[in-house]
Amino acid sequence: MTGGAGFIGSHYDRWLLANSDDTIVVYDALTYAGNLSTLRDVDDSPRYSFVHANICDPGALEAAMRGCDLVVHFAAESHVDRSIAGADDFIHTNCFGTSIVMDTARRCDVRRVLHVGTDEVYGSVAVGSSKEADPLEPRSPYSASKAGSDLIALSYHHTHGLDVVVTRCTNNFGAFQYPEKAIPLFTTNLLDGRPVPLYGDGLNERDWIHVDDHCAGVDLVLRRGVAGEIYNIGAGNETPNRTLVDKLLELVGRDESFVEYVPDRLGHDRRYSVDITKVTALGWTRQRTLDEALEQTVAWYRDNRWWWEPLKR
């Protein structure tokens, strides 16, 4: 599990230990968004081990991967605002790093690699929903680097015969998400009595999915997906950011005065939406409504200041 100490990766570690008999090796560079405290509830499991290293280090990666049957590649730089401020780390980790992961998997005779992508590679979708075969139109350095990483991963399938599957998921949220992302940032600000910074007119739409529903989809594609195929994962919760903020205001008990409109982000995509016909055909279904998942998430941040307060400082 590359990037297994990050937000989505750590949830999948937990999901896998609870729902399978697999033994997992978590491989993570522990950059600012990777945090071993996120995994402290599983670090005593005999089926879990941790390797502190970077995916761009071929020797360390091969030593960790040798003998593994499956690889799930979560490791990535993932924050759009940071990519706008400086793209170098995104290109290096997401493109070069993915190439190292795929080539190492090929040399280690790994049975299958699942590469975790994002719906942002499709660009802004005015109407309808993006299908897996649609053209890629990324509009930020982050999404461009992820589009490149998808193509690099799939090239190892077509050129070398490596069994690769790719998932592209919508916006995740849940416990243990680094508080630079929208929902934990908004929630923790409101809990601290601070305003919510809302880009532009607040009407940009995202499809929000609880991270555990995403993890179930990842595992299904890992076990049942067709080699060389791409699978969208989404919850059908396309929601304007302003509506999302209103839901959080109600859950935290704050009023309209806590909303602060700020200048829009450069290249801000208006709307994302994905067609999930392919992953649904494998047997995946969303288990949580947006309102249920938001309520659970806000409660977690309210009860677990020990985790996020040091990160915000």
Of 28, 119, 132, 212, the active-site residue reads: 119
Identify the active-site residue in 12, 27, 142, 301. Answer: 142
Q: How many CB atoms lie within 10 A of CB 227?
A: 12
* Nearest CA-CA partner of 54 in 77, 38, 70: 77
Q: Is 142 annotated as catalytic? A: yes
In eight-state DSSP terms, residue 66 is T
Give 311: exposed, middle or buried? Use CB within 10 Å, 0-12, 13-18, 19+: middle
Q: Is there a catalytic annotation at residue 22?
A: no
Neighbour tally for 264: CB within 10 Å? 13
CA angle 188–192–195, rounded 5-degree value: 80
Is residue 199 a contact partner of residue 172, using CB atoms and an 8 Å limit? no
What angle do helix axes 211-224 and 7-19 make, rounded to 10 degrees?
Answer: 60
Catalytic residue among 13, 28, 77, 120: 120
Lookup result for tokens 């660009």: 123
Note if 44 is an active site residue. Answer: no
Residues classed as catalytic: 119-120, 142
